[in-house]
Chain A
Amino acid sequence: MADAYLIEPDLDFIKEVGALGGEDLKKCYQCATCSVACAISPETKPFPRKEMIAASWGLKDRLVGNADIWLCHNCGDCSTRCPREAKPGDVLAAVRTYAISEYAQPKWLVNALKEPKKLPILLAIPTVLFIVVGLVTGLLDFTPDLSEGIKHYKFFSTWLVDMHMVPAAIFMVAVFALGLKRFLGDIHQNALQEGKTKKEKIEVVGFITAFLKVIPTILKHSKFSDCTENKDREIAHMLTIFGFIGLFIVTSIIFLVMWGSYLLPSGPLHGPWSQLNPVKWLANASGIALIVGTVWLIINRRAKKDQKSDYWDWYLIYLAFGLGVTGMGTELTRLAGWAFICYLLYFIHLILVFCMIAYLPFSKLAHLVYRTVAMTYNEYAGRNF
C-alpha cells in the first residue's frame, strides 16, 4: 500500500449523508457483521464495513467515487443484522444519493429533485413548455376532431411530442456523459488506491466485453436473488424493469415506424395501432407489468418499517407508477371513448415522460446507469463480485 493516507474528515459530508437517510451511521462500532451478512459482498475488501467507517469519518473521497457503493443492491440484510442499528443499507443508499448529486450538473436541478417543495416547479416546466410551444406553433389542439374516433396526435401533435422529448433525451445523455466520465475515472482511481484491481487503464474493448457479460446478470436479477431480507422486492423490481424495457422497445418501434412512414406514399402512420398487432401485445403486457411491479414495490416499502424510505425513493416509484397508470389509462379511456379523460391522461402522461427523461440523471433512476457502469467496471477490473 501507498504511504500513509492523510485523513481530513468532511463534517458537511457527514451531515449531508445523515440528512439523506444515513443518520444512524455514527452508531457503527465496526464489528463487520454487515460485511458478513451481505450475500453479495466480495471476499476481499468487502463492503459495507469499510464504507461505514469512511462515512462516519467523513471521507467523501473514499465513498463518492467508490464503485462498491453501487454494488450494493440495498436489500437490507446488513441493516437487519446490525447489532447497533446503524443501518448500513440506508447509509449506502444515502451515499449513493449523494453520489448521484455529485456527478450531475446543473446543481440547482439536483437540489430540486431532492425537495418535495420543488416538485410543482419540476412538473410546471414541461406543462408550461407544452402549452406555450403548442399554442404558438398550433401543434396543440384543445378541440380536436373526434370524427375518426380518439386520435391523440390530433390533440397533441407527434411533432410537438418529439420536439420536447428528443432534446430532453439529448440533454439527459449529455449530463450522463459528463458525469460518467468523471465517475469512471474516480472509481478506477479508487480501485487502484484500495487495491481492488490490477488493471492500470480502462480499455474500451475489454470494458464493452465486460458490459455484455453483466447484462444477463442485471436482467436476471441474480444479485437480487441472493438477498434474504427483502426477497419479495426481486420480482417487483423485475416486473418494473421489464415493463420499462418493453415500453422502451415499443416506443422506439413506434418512433421509427412513424417517422419512417413519412416516406411512404400513403402518408404517415399514426396511432393507435391495432390490438392484434404483436407490438401492441408487448405494449399492453409491459404496461401491466409496470403497474403491477410498482404497486408491489409501493406495498413492500410501506410494509418495511425498519428501512428508510423518503421522498427521494417515493418520487421515483410514484413516477414509474404514474407513467404506467396514465399510459394504460389513456388506452383504456380511448377504447371506452371517453375523449376528455383520455386526452387529459395523455397530457399528464407526456408530462411524466418528460420528467422521467429530462430528470433521469438527477433522480434516483440514475442508479440504472451508475450501477450498470459500476458492475461493468467491477467485471472488467476482476473484483470477485
Chain B
Amino acid sequence: MDKKYGVYICEGCGIGEALDIEKLCDVPKEEGFPVKTCPILCSQEGVELLKKDIANEGVNTLVLAACSRRVLFDVFRFDGCIVDRVNLREQVVWSHPRSKYPAPTEEQKDDEDFIDHVQMMAEDYLKMGMARVEKVNLPEPYKLETFNRKILVIGGGITGISAAIEAAKTGYEVTIVEKESALGGQAKKWRKQLPGAYPYDSLIPPTVEDKIKDLQNYSNITVKTETVVARIAGEPGDFTVTLKKPGEKTEFDVPYPLPDEMKVDEKGKELDAEALHAKFMEYNKGKQDILTLDQNGEKFGAVILAAGWRPYQPEEGEFAHLGYGQIADVVTNHQFEDIAAGGKITRPSDGKEAKSVVFIQSPGQGDDKDFAYSGAVTSLVALKQAKYVREDYSDGKAYVFYQHMRTVGLTENFYKSIQQDQGIFLTKGEVTGVSKNGGSLIVEADNTLLGEKIQVKADLVVLGTGMVPATKDSPVVNLAYRQGPGFRDNAIFDEYADSNFICFPYETQRTGIYAAGGIRRSMTVEESIEDATGAALKAIQCLESVNRGVSVHPRSGDMTIPDFFMQRCTQCKRCTEECPFGAIDDDEKGTPKPNPARCRRCGTCMGCCPERIINFCDYSIDSIGSMVKAVGVPSEDDYDEPPLRILGLVCENDALPALDIVGLNRLSYSADVRFIAVRCLGSVNVIWIKDALAQGMDGVFLLGCKHGDDYQCHFVKGSELADIRMKKIGDALSSLALEEERVAQFQVAIDEYDKIPQIIDDFVASVEEMGPNPFKGF
C-alpha cells in the first residue's frame, strides 16, 4: 500500500486553548507530513474534511490528533485507511492543566531555558503517532482452507441438550456426544427439581424428559450416546474430532505432554527439540502426534463443553467425625436423592422409615468452610431434600445445619417457603459430631442460633457434599494441542472449566471451546439452561468470526494475526509454551506452527520472542519501538535542568480506559511521562524497555491488569508473564549499571482510575531520587 499521509489536529475540547497549535503544526511540517487543523474534528465539517481528503487527495494514512481512540471510534473509522488517534485531549490537556503547567508568556517564548511541558508532550505524542503510521499496515483476513460450521456439544445432560436446541434453533448443525447410554445426565436421577419459574416457591417434577422430547423435533441435531471425544485437533472453524466408545483405546487418543522431569537428560540439561519430540512420542506410545490428523475424523467448527459434574465421593476416612463410612445411616446428599427418587425415605441400615433427617452443610472441625465443591446449589438441594421428608411424613422433621445458606436471587422465595414449613428447622451451626444412640443417631452441634450446644435425634443424616466438575477427573475435551489436552492452570478455579469468571462467562482458555453448566460452576437446572444459551451464542459468534478471519474475543473483530518470520526462528519454543490459549503448536523440530483461528491476538508471543520475529501488521516490535524512539529525551545540552522522560506502557484493556477516566476527571499527574498503549502487558517485548533506557529515558513502567489467583488479565496470563519478564530484566539492567528500580510494573483495575495519578507520581519521584539516566545524551 502506498501511504499518503495526512495529519489533522483538532482544536476542540480545550486543546486549542491549551496548546500552541501553530507550533504543533511545525512538527508534521518538519517531517514533510501535510497537516490541517480543525476547530472541532468530530463535527460534520471536520469529518467532511477528512472524507474529502481521502476521496480527493488520496489520503489513506491519517494521524488524528484529538481525543482518545476509545471514543468516537465509529466517527473516525475510514475503511481502507490506516488511522492513528493521537490523544491530545484526555492524555495531554485534560490531565495537565495550564494552571499547573503554565504556558509561556510573550517574553518567555524566546527564552531557551523555559520548558513548556504540555506543548512538549503534545509534540511528542504527535511524533509518536506519525512514527507509528509509518510502520503499520492494513491487515488481510486469515481464511481457513476448509471451514465447517457444525457445533459439537460434549455432554448430553440438561445443559448439553439445551445448548444443542438453542444452536439448532438458529439453524446450526449440532452433534451431541454423551458417554452414557441415554441422554439426561444428573437431572434424570432426581425425585423433584428446584423451582424454575415465578413465584419460585415450590418444587417441580424433573423437566429433563420434556427437554429430551423437544430435542427430537430438531432434525439438525445428531445424538451419539456411549460416545466420548478421543481428541480434538485443529482450530475453530476447522476442528477434526475423533470420537470413540468410552474406555476404548485408539491411536487417536490424545497424547499428553512430557512431565517436566522428563524434559532433561541425566545431567539435568535441557534436551533439544528433536530429542524432546522423540521422548514425547515414546511417552505416548501407540498414539499419533498432535499434528497428525485423523483422516476419518469428523469436522466441527466450534465446541460447547457441557460435560457437567459428578457427585463428590468422600475419601476413605473423610468425615469420620460425622460417622460417614462407619454408620450406614449417614449418607451424602446424592445418596439421599437416590433413596428419595426410589420411593419413601427409609434408612439404608434397616429399611425403616426415616422421619427425622438432619442435613449437614458444613463438615465443621474448626472452620466454617462448606463441603468441597458445594455452594448455592447445595444449599438449595438441602432445602429441597428437607421438603421430601415432609412430603413423605406428616410428622416428619428435617433439620438443616449450615454455615452458609446461599439462596441467590429469586431462589430466596424458595428458601422462604421452606422456612414456612412447620416441620423444617434451619439453623446456622457447627456440627461437632454424629453418634449412634440405640436405634437412632444423635447429631450434636455448637454455636447454633439456639444459643447453646444442642443435640438432635435423627434417623438419617445427610452430608451436603458438592458437585465435582468433570474436568477435575480428566481433560474431557482432549485437545491435540502442544500445551496439553486440557485447560492449563485451572487449579485456581478448582478445576472448573473457566478462564475469567467475572468478565467473560463461557470463555475457556481455548478459543472455540465454550463451557456451560455444571462444568463451569455448580448450577441449578434453571441456571444451566440459561448458561447453555450463552455458550451456544458464543459458539455461534466464534463461527461467524472465524469465517471472516477476525478474532472472536476479547479483541472481537480484529483481523490481524501474528506473523512469524520463520527463517530467524531458533526453535526456543517460548511462544508455544507462553501462549495463554495454546494457539501455537510446534513440529518435531520445534518450529512453531501457529493456528491463527485459535489466536486471540494478545501478542504474548510477540512479547516473549527473544528473536523478535513475531509481529502483527499494525502492532509490531518495530512500530512500538519507533514510537519509543520518537519520544524526545531532553538532555543537559538542551536545558540546564532537563526534565525527566519516563515511558509508560499501558494495557489497553483496563489501564488505558482508567487513564482516560483520569483525564475525564481532570486529575493530573507528572508531565514527564509518555504513554504507549499495548494490547496486553504480555505483548511487551523487553527490547522496547532496553531501547527506551538506551536512548536516555530515565525509567519505564508497565500499567496493566492484576495477576495472581484473582487475575483480571483479559488474556489470562499476560500481566503475569510480564511480571516474570520484568523481574528478569533487573539482572540485565544491573549489568548496565542501571538501577533495577528504573523498571516497574503496576496493577490497576478499571475502576481504580483515582489511584493512577499517585502511582505515576510516586514512580516519577522514585526515579527522580535515583537521578537522571547516565546514558542520557549519548
The interface of chain A, by Cβ under 8 A from chain B, is: 1, 3-9, 11, 14-15, 18, 26-27, 29-30, 45, 50, 53-54, 56-59
Check if A9 sits within 8 Å of B453, measured CB to CB. Answer: no
| Residues of chain B from 429 to 465 with CB closer than 8 A to chain A in the complex | 442, 444, 449-457
Cα distance A348–B340 when bound, in Å? Answer: 63
A6 touches B455 (CB 8 A): yes
Q: A26-B420, A27-B420, A56-B425 are in contact. Are A7 and B450 (CB under 8 A)?
A: yes
Contact (Cβ within 8 A) B419 A7: no
Q: How far is the CA of A59 from the CA of B397 in the complex (A)?
A: 13
Q: Decide yes or no whether B52 CB sits under 8 A from chain A.
A: no
Asked if residues A26 and B422 are in contact (CB atoms below 8 Å), the reply is yes
Number of interface residues of B (CB under 8 A): 22
CA distance A6 to B454 in the complex (A): 6
Q: A59 to B449, alpha carbons, bound, how many Å?
A: 13
B270 sits at the interface (CB 8 A): no
Residues in A with CB closer than 8 Å to B419 are 26-27, 29
Taking each of A11, A14, A18, which has the highest tally of chain B beta carbons within 10 Å of its own beta carbon?
A11
Question: A11 contacts which chain B residues (CB < 8 A)?
Answer: 395, 397, 422-423
Query: Is residue B220 contacting chain A, with contact meaning CB distance below 8 A?
Result: no
Decide yes or no whether B285 CB sits under 8 A from chain A. Answer: no
Q: 27 A-B contacts, Cβ less than 8 Å apart? A: A1-B452, A1-B453, A4-B444, A4-B452, A4-B454, A5-B450, A5-B455, A6-B442, A6-B454, A6-B455, A6-B457, A7-B455, A7-B456, A11-B395, A11-B422, A14-B422, A26-B422, A27-B416, A27-B419, A27-B420, A30-B427, A30-B428, A50-B450, A50-B451, A53-B427, A56-B425, A58-B422
Task: Pick from B422, B444, B455, B456: contact of A15, CB below 8 A.
Answer: B422
Q: Which residues of B contact A56 (CB under 8 A)?
A: 425
- List of A residues within 8 angstroms of B456 by Cβ: 6-7
Interface membership of B421, Cβ < 8 A: yes
A361 to chain B, nearest CB (A): 29
Residues B397 and A30 in contact, CB atoms below 8 Å apart: no
Q: Is the CB of B449 within 8 A of A7?
A: no
Q: Is the CB of B453 within 8 A of A53?
A: no
Q: How far is the CB of B328 from chain A (nearest CB, A)?
A: 23
Chain B residue nearest to A30 (CB atoms) is B449
Assess the B455–A4 pair: CB atoms within 8 A: yes
Do A9 and B397 touch across chains, with their CB atoms under 8 A apart?
yes
Q: How many A-B residue pairs have CB under 8 A?
A: 56
Q: Which residue of B lies closest to A52 (CB)?
A: B449
Most buried by A among B428, B449, B455, B456: B449
Q: Check A54/B425 contact, CB under 8 A, given A5-B455, A27-B419.
A: no
Query: B422, A4: Cβ atoms under 8 Å?
Result: no
Q: A4-B454, A5-B455, A11-B395 are in contact. Are A26 and B421 (CB under 8 A)?
A: yes
Whether B455 pairs with A57 at a CB distance below 8 angstroms is no
- Closest chain-B Cβ to A24's Cβ sits at a distance in Å of 9
- Kindly provide the distance from the CB of A305 to the nearest chain B CB, expressed in whole angstroms: 22
Return B592 CB to nearest CB of chain A, in Å.
59
B382 to chain A, nearest CB (A): 16
Chain B residues in 8 Å Cβ range of A7 = 450, 454-456
B738-755, CB < 8 A from A: none
- Contact residues in B for A3 (Cβ distance below 8 Å): 453
B454 / chain A contacts, CB cutoff of 8 Å: 4-7
Cα A143 to Cα B428 with chains together (Å): 73
How far is it, in angstroms, between the C-alpha of A99 and the C-alpha of B52 when the chains are bound?
93
Query: Of B397, B449, B457, which is within 8 A of A53 by CB?
Result: B449
* Cα(A30)–Cα(B427), bound, Å: 9
Other-chain residue from A14, A29, A45, A57 in contact with B450 (beta carbon distance below 8 A) = A57
Per CB-CB distance, the 10 closest pairs between chain A and chain B, nearest first, are A4-B453, A4-B455, A6-B455, A14-B422, A26-B420, A30-B449, A5-B454, A7-B454, A53-B449, A57-B425
Give the shortest distance, in Å, between B427 (CB) and chain A (any CB).
7
- Contact A8-B457, Cβ < 8 Å, known A14-B422, A15-B422, A57-B425: yes
**A2 closest partner in B (C-beta):** B452
Give bound CA distance, A27 to B452, whole Å: 22
Q: A8-B457, A11-B395, A27-B416 are in contact. Are A54 and B450 (CB under 8 A)?
A: yes
A5 and B453 alpha carbons, distance in the complex (Å): 6
Q: In the assembled complex, how far is the CB of residue A21 from the closest CB belonging to chain B, in whole angstroms?
A: 15
The answer for the CA separation of A11 and B427 in the assembled complex, in Å, is 17
Q: Using Cβ atoms and an 8 Å threshold, which residues of chain A touch B395?
A: 11
Contacts of A14 in B (CB 8 A): 422
A30 and B395 CA atoms in complex are apart in Å by 24
What is the distance, in angstroms, from A27's C-beta to the closest C-beta of chain B? 7
Q: Known A4-B444, A27-B416, A57-B450; judge A18-B455 contact (CB<8 A).
A: no
Q: How far is the CA of A53 from the CA of B448 in the complex (A)?
A: 11
Indicate with 1 or 0, residue by residue over B124-165, a CB within 8 angstroms of chain A CB atoms. Answer: 000000000000000000000000000000000000000000
Which A residue sits closest to B396, measured CB to CB? Answer: A11
Which of chain B's residues have a CB closer than 8 A to the CB of A58?
Answer: 422
Task: Give bound CA distance, A14 to B420, whole Å.
Answer: 11
Smallest beta-carbon distance A68→chain B, Å: 13
Alpha-carbon separation in the docked complex, A8 to B456 (Å)? 7
Chain A nearest CB from B17 CB (Å) reads: 55
Minimum C-beta distance from B646 to chain A (A): 53
User: A15 to B422, alpha carbons, bound, how many Å?
Assistant: 7
Q: CA A3 – CA B453 in complex, angstroms?
A: 7
How close is B98's CB to chain A, nearest CB, in angstroms? Answer: 54
B539 to chain A, nearest CB (A): 42
CA distance A8 to B416 in the complex (A): 23
Q: Does B452 contact A5, Cβ atoms closer than 8 Å?
A: yes
In angstroms, Cα B420 to Cα A15, docked, is: 12
Cα-based distance from A56 to B397 in the complex (angstroms): 12
Q: What 12 additional pairs, Cβ within 8 angstroms, besides A4-B455, A11-B423?
A: A5-B453, A5-B455, A6-B455, A6-B456, A7-B454, A7-B456, A8-B457, A15-B422, A27-B420, A29-B419, A50-B451, A53-B450
